[in-house]
Structures are given as C-alpha cells and as structure tokens.
C-alpha cells in the first residue's frame, strides 16, 4: 500500500490527452509539500518529468504538465505519442514518516 | 551529472547487500542529498534512504533497522548496506541525486541484486 495513490493504468489514442491522478493526505500533499513526477520507459531508469508541482526540466516537452490542489495532484499529457507509453510515478515528502520521501504505486500508460 | 551503481549481483540470504554509487560531473560535497531507491521485479519504486555529505541521513521507517548509508567525499561516492537480506530484497537498486524539495533529478542506470542461495 503506497502512501500516494495512483490508478494502476490509463490509456489513450495517439493525439489525445490523458491525466494521471495522485492522491495523498494531510501529511504530504495536503501539507503543501511539492509533488514530482517521473517517467520510466521499459527497461530504463526513471527520469524526472515534472518537479515542484508544475515545472519541467530542460528538454521535457510542454505536452507534459502538472498541477496540484489540496491533497491531490495530476499529470496531464496532451498530444499522446506512441513513445509516451511508460510507467509514471508521483513522489513527495511525508512529515509523519520522519523525513520520508514517498512514491505513488505507479501508473502504466498504454497508447492505443 | 552521472551516477553509476556497483556491487555484487547475487547475495545470499541473511548476508549484507552492499552497493556503491560513483558520482561524476558534480561534487558530493556541493550540498545535495543523495538517495537510494529500489524496484522489485514488476513492481513500483521504493525509497530506501538519503544521505547528506556530512553524513546526516534519513531512512525509510520500514527498512531503518537494517539499513546504513555512508559517504566518501574523497572518492565522490556514497554507499548502501542492507543487513540480513532476504528474497524480498531482490530488486533493481538505483542511486540518485536529490534536487529541489526532495525531487530526484539525476539517476543511475540501476543494478539488479538477487538474494538467493
């Protein structure tokens, strides 16, 4: 059971927009700690995709965007492409678990 | 910034799993935290712990009794020891650099460690 809750899977057709939710609690997202998102392509290490709720590292296309409100956060991917098919993880900090960094369980994105 | 994990790919049950992360392109002493994350086959990511160049560390509560981490600034590397390993510790182990507000902005490629006799 992950501290942050994500749907196990989402899917969309090429060109469509999909969103992935990440639900936390009052000791992590609700306590105003930032949420970060990672993309893990098959067989590779995770890569930072969104940091500080909604910022993109250099090189990440603006098709990827993040938002956060209260105890929930979302990752949106617009203009879906075949190579967006990957696992996506949210991550934050939890003050109730002695400085723990916490992850969501991950969401598998399938491009139909 | 580049990170590279190294260590045995096979560990016997009850023994200590030991890994090292070599950092290049960035000095460990520059003031970031450095972390270990693992991923059991077919499962999600689990944070193991993070350490500062001074040695200040934070560990996952579920692993705290078995984990220790250290930093060697002269070699620009940091290390993980996980005692009393069991099959449940079989995973790909990643080292990573922490960026702003606990994000993990650079990752190593990962190394698979199997715990088996």
Could you read off the pLDDT of A24-59 as tens digits, one per residue? 999 999 999 999 999 999 999 999 999 999 999 999
B45/A98 CB distance under 8 A: no
pLDDT tens string B66-108: 999 999 999 999 999 999 999 999 999 999 999 989 999 999 9
Q: Which residues of A touch B37 (CB under 8 A)?
A: 46
Q: Is the pLDDT of residue B4 over 90?
A: yes
B114 lies within 8 A of chain A by CB: no
- Measured CA to CA, the distance from residue B49 to residue B63 in angstroms comes to 9
- pLDDT category at B42 given cuts 50, 70, 90 is very high
pLDDT level of residue B31 (50, 70, 90 thresholds): confident
- Interface A-B, measured as beta-carbon pairs within 8 A, has a size of 72
> What string of DSSP letters covers B20-67?
EEEEESS-GGGT--EEEEEE-TTS--EEEEEE-TTS-EEE-TTTTTTE
Stretch B47-51: mean pLDDT: 97
Picking from A46, A100, A106, the nearest residue to B60 by CB comes out as A100
- Residue A100 has its nearest CB partner, among B47, B94, B110, at B47
**Of the candidates B67, B63, B89, the residue with the CA atom closest to the CA atom of residue B80:** B67
For B45, nearest residue in chain A (alpha carbons): A103
Q: Would an 8 Å CB–CB cutoff place B110 in contact with chain A? A: yes
List all residues 6 or more positions away from A31 whose beta carbon is below 8 Å from its beta carbon. Answer: A95
User: Rounded to an integer, what distance in angstroms lies between the CA atom of residue B35 and that of residue B30?
Assistant: 15
Is B100 at the interface with chain A, CB within 8 A?
yes
Partner B contacted by A37 (CB < 8 A): no
Confidence of residue B52 (pLDDT cuts 50, 70, 90): very high
Task: Summarize pLDDT for A46-99 with one digit per residue, the tens.
Answer: 999 999 999 999 999 999 999 999 999 999 999 999 999 999 999 999 998 776
Which H or E run includes A10?
A: strand A9-12
Contact between residue A75 and residue A37 where contact means Cβ atoms under 8 Å apart? yes
């Amino acid at each position: 059971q992950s501290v942050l809750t994500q749907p196990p899977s989402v899917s969309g057709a090429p060109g469509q927009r999909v969103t992935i939710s990440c639900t936390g609690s009052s000791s992590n997202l609700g306590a105003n700690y930032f949420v970060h998102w990672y993309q893990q392509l098959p067989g590779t290490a995770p890569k930072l995709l969104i940091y500080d709720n909604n910022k993109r590292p250099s090189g990440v296309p603006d098709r990827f965007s993040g938002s956060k409100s209260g105890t929930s956060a979302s990752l949106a991917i617009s203009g879906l492409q075949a190579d967006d098919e990957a696992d996506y993880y949210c991550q934050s900090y939890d003050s109730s678990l002695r400085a723990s960094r916490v992850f969501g369980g991950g969401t598998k994105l399938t491009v139909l | 910034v580049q990170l590279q994990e190294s260590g045995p790919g096979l560990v016997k049950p009850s023994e200590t799993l030991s890994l090292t992360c070599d950092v290049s392109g960035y000095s460990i002493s520059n003031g970031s935290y450095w972390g270990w994350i693992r991923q059991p086959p077919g499962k999600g990511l689990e944070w193991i712990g993070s350490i500062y160049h001074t040695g200040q560390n934070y560990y996952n509560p579920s692993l705290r009794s078995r984990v220790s981490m250290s930093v060697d600034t002269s070699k620009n590397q940091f290390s993980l020891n996980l005692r009393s390993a069991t099959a449940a510790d079989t995973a790909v182990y990643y080292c990573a650099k922490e960026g702003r507000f606990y994000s993990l902005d650079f990752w190593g490629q990962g190394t698979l460690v199997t715990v088996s006799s």
